[in-house]
Amino acid sequence: MKGILFTEFLDLVEDKYGLEMVDKIITSSKLESEGVYTAVGTYEFSEMLQLLQHLSTNTGISIDDLLLVYAEHFFDVLKQNYPELLAAYKDPVEMLASIENHIHVEVKKIYPDAELPTFDVLKKTKKSLVMIYKSSRAMHHFGLGLMNKTFEHFNATADIVVEKLRDDGTEVKFVINKN
C-alpha cells in the first residue's frame, strides 16, 4: 500500500483527534515501519488495518465509518494536488465510469507499483452506473467515500447502494443512481 495513504491518514487523525491520538494508535500497533511513512514508500496493508482498528477502539467509530471520513479527506488531497484529474470531467457518472481506464492509469504513472482495486463497469447510462469493486483489501467504504465526494464536487447527489458479493468485502457491487 502506497505511503501517501498512510501519511494522509495520520494527518487526518492529527487534525481530528490530535497528535496524542496519532502517537496512541502507532504505539498500540505492531508496525514493521514503526509508524514512519513517506508518501512514495510502500507498506503492508496490515499496518493500515492496525491503525484503523486502534483508532476505532479509541474513538468508538466503526472502521467503515472511519474509512468514509478518510476518503472525504483524501478526495480533497487529490483535488488540491491533482486538479487536472477532476478538470477532465463535467459529470460524476462519467468520472466514476472512467476510474479503471483513466484515473488508475494516471495513478500508475505517479506510483507504478501501486496495487489498485479494479472497478468493472457492468452498466452505464447518463444517470446510473453499476460497478463491481474487486480488491484483496476490504476498503470498499473508502471507495464509497470517494464516490460521495465526487458527486459533491459536481454539485450533484446520488443514491449509492453497496452490495457485498463476498462476505469479506473484497468484492462489492456499487449501484449508483444520480438524483
Residues 6+ apart with CB under 8 A from 99: 119, 131
- Top pLDDT among 86 and 131 is at 131
Note the pLDDT tens digit of each residue in 45-68: 999 999 999 999 999 999 999 999
pLDDT band at 98 (very low <50, low <70, confident <90, very high): very high
| Together in a domain, 17 and 97 | no
d(CA 12, CA 8): 6
Those residues with Cβ within 8 angstroms of residue 89's Cβ, 6 or more apart along the chain or in another chain: 95, 98, 154
Q: Which domain covers residue 39, as residue numbers?
A: 3-61
Residues 91-118 have a mean pLDDT of 88
Quick one: pLDDT at residue 107?
A: 82
What is the per-residue pLDDT for 174? 97
In a domain, 96, yes or no: yes
Structural domain contains residue 36: yes
- What pTM did the predictor assign? 0.90
3-state class (DSSP) for residue 125:
coil
The 10s digit of each residue's pLDDT in 125-158 is 999 999 999 998 888 999 999 999 999 999 999 9
Query: pLDDT category, 35, cuts 50, 70, 90?
Result: very high
Model confidence at 111: pLDDT above 90: no
Please state, for a pLDDT cut of 70, what percent of the chain lies above it.
Answer: 100
Region 2-8 average pLDDT = 93
Supply φ then ψ for residue 53, to 5 degrees. -60, -45
Percent of all residues in the chain with a pLDDT value above 90, rounded to a whole number: 80
- Looking at residue 117, which CATH number applies to its domain? 3.90.1520.10
Structural domain includes residue 129: yes
Q: Are residues 19 and 89 in the same domain?
A: no
What is the pLDDT averaged over residues 21-35?
A: 96
CA distances from 103 to 69, 169, 176 (A): 21, 22, 18
What is the rounded average pLDDT of the residues 80-104? 91
Identify whether 138 is part of a domain.
yes
Question: Structural domain tally of the chain?
Answer: 2
159: in domain: yes
Residues 110 and 170 in one domain: yes
